[in-house]
Chain A
């Protein structure tokens, strides 16, 4: 799909470029500058330029590292599961026939359920002793950990809560599945390919652009997870936030707004940026072999 028409292309890109220069770039550079100061967002105190001290502090303190490990662990669990479960549900939707509309709405319901309610609800559902999830697990003779209080199970508990909203992933993949040409599937079937084979050799390559998008954006989002965790374990009505639930951006938020170390928080943010950029670059590099664009033939 490579039509060499730079000027037209720039015209299409222009809206984003204008916004980037005038709205986005300024604040981004400001935070980079602030990360080299001890700014605390209040006018009263004097702010000094302190060079790389914030960055040094980030490496010498244990908390950022712990927070990053927590976040990384969560991302490693969540992203693959979201793809697998999302795809399964999208495939299910494709076969649903008349129930498609209903099913589609149903899987999107958790996404529209207000965060307030979701937070409260999950603390109840995940409760080690009284929660519904453990009730079901117990009935199936599976282990019933203390999802909300046992440090080893807090992150998996948060993964479960995040997976509830996998409807968004499913919808995107469902749309992508719609673009898989029926002719190819028919041809494969005629050639004797079974359902798994059709999945592997026809469907997955055809939806690989969407899958790739999901992996990248879910990874970036996971590494920046904030609201859900903050509501469940750090909000105003809670006390005793367990260190196992300290996600990186939660730590950044607290440093910025609770402890008033805005400069340090900016440095922490830029360090996360680097981590995410590296991870994304790796994923992009791997995608060259795995993603197939029909428009690129």
Chain B
């Protein structure tokens, strides 16, 4: 027999909420109808870089009576839960889209239907995949920002040396890829010298599963499908690739030893043949080794159609926050096409000032993306980088994403752990994913209770 405790009762058992905390002043809360004033606070937005600061300035210019307080630093659950528990949530939170469903499912976020209506936000301007990630149970809970995709980066020198054409590492043909991997891998007595192909397992398991046409979680985020045939096959195949290259322990240790962010990175030092990677790594390469022998290729499914896996952030409004009108206006302005354009200009100017290259900004706002590429971006003359930018552009619209799930973190942990068990040789892919499936589905069911 369960005793239902009203949450209010629980709060009064602990303490009574008082003033202070992260929320806005109780004074100038709602403002008059239609007017955007008072103050708002954000949590989870770094905002210290040019792209962030330029956009915040745009908001401040648009709404002179609005006081915006950015609490800088990445989204931290401890910070957020404390603020919420004391009855003083921030006006807006900024968090990875994949985590949104967890809070939405527990009723911690305000559905944005009214907000979208009031601010006339055109949800169509955002990427479908991004909007899917912020929609839970048919309600929109977030305004998307940024879309980071994955593409294949190949070491052209290594391929040439092995006498392989660029598409030898294409993901369209898994048998061929396995073959190329074996050719490109160099094992030595002192340890691995070069990894042929790093499939990035566990991280990219969703991508590999999608390449076979499968999904780890159903579209509505409520049914785990970790033991689906596609997932099992994807895990088996990629774990096999790792085993062919020295086994997980050595493989990972070698990879950890790369000067990943530095001038002697794995492309310069010829330590890798190819691997899928997030697009921000192009910025790093442009910065520290612009002449490295890198080619960017789209990841594909097994029929050769380009495919990618996208992640990004979103603005959401916690339940109980004051001044929702202003919060909504803030989010709308931060992600509008014009604001993004201004930010892109600022970012480009900043890069050029420090002698770097501007490689475009991927905003999750399709309209903004196109205009940035047309009006702000200029090819650098470095063929590899310029081509890479075009690849990123081409795959933005074919992204798969993690559906918003009430137990996103636990589901992810389930398949990550399963992958590790397979890589370490403790279980087969089928066994591991069957176990993971049970764990994941239990977690989802628990969260919905």
A and B touch in the complex (CB under 8 A): yes
Q: Is B305 an interface residue (CB 8 A)?
A: no
Whether A47 and B256, one on each chain, are in contact in the complex, defined by CB atoms closer than 8 angstroms, is no
Whether B420 and A129, one on each chain, are in contact in the complex, defined by CB atoms closer than 8 angstroms, is no
- Min CB gap A247→B, angstroms: 15
Bound-state Cα–Cα, A107 to B164, Å: 54
Q: Is B257 an interface residue (CB 8 A)?
A: yes
- Min CB gap B96→A, angstroms: 10
Given contacts A240-B202, A242-B420, contact A129 B257 (CB under 8 A): yes
Q: Is A181 an interface residue (CB 8 A)?
A: no
Q: Is A46 an interface residue (CB 8 A)?
A: yes
Given contacts A50-B2, A258-B77, contact A149 B248 (CB under 8 A): yes
Q: Is B319 an interface residue (CB 8 A)?
A: yes
Bound-state Cα–Cα, A49 to B13, Å: 13
| Residues 249-297 of A at the B interface (beta carbon under 8 Å) | 254, 257-260, 262
B249 to chain A: which residues have CB within 8 Å?
Answer: 128, 146, 149-150
Whether B257 and A127, one on each chain, are in contact in the complex, defined by CB atoms closer than 8 angstroms, is yes
Residue interface bits B1-17, CB-to-A below 8 A is 1, else 0: 01111110011011000
Which single residue of chain B is at the shortest CB-CB distance from A261? B446
Q: Is B416 an interface residue (CB 8 A)?
A: yes
Bin chain B's interface residue count. 35 or more
Whether B78 and A129, one on each chain, are in contact in the complex, defined by CB atoms closer than 8 angstroms, is no
Q: Is A33 an interface residue (CB 8 A)?
A: yes
Whether B416 and A44, one on each chain, are in contact in the complex, defined by CB atoms closer than 8 angstroms, is no
Q: Is A195 an interface residue (CB 8 A)?
A: no
Stretch with Cβ within 8 A of A (4 or more), from B33-41, B102-110, B347-355, B364-372: B102-110
**Residue among A49, A123, A243 making CB contact with B5, cutoff 8 Å:** A49
| Residues 396-449 of B at the A interface (beta carbon under 8 Å) | 407, 409-410, 413, 416-417, 419-421, 424, 443, 447, 449
Whether A129 and B254, one on each chain, are in contact in the complex, defined by CB atoms closer than 8 angstroms, is yes
Which single residue of chain B is at the shortest CB-CB distance from A246? B417
Given contacts A40-B106, A43-B108, A43-B319, contact A257 B202 (CB under 8 A): no
Bound-state Cα–Cα, A128 to B203, Å: 22
B102 to chain A: which residues have CB within 8 Å?
Answer: 260
Bound-state Cα–Cα, A242 to B419, Å: 10
Whether B81 and A239, one on each chain, are in contact in the complex, defined by CB atoms closer than 8 angstroms, is no
Residue interface bits B62-99, CB-to-A below 8 A is 1, else 0: 00000000000010011001001101000000000000
Residues on B facing A (Cβ under 8 Å)? 2-7, 10-11, 13-14, 74, 77-78, 81, 84-85, 87, 102-103, 106-108, 191-192, 202-203, 248-250, 252-254, 256-257, 319-320, 407, 409-410, 413, 416-417, 419-421, 424, 443, 447, 449
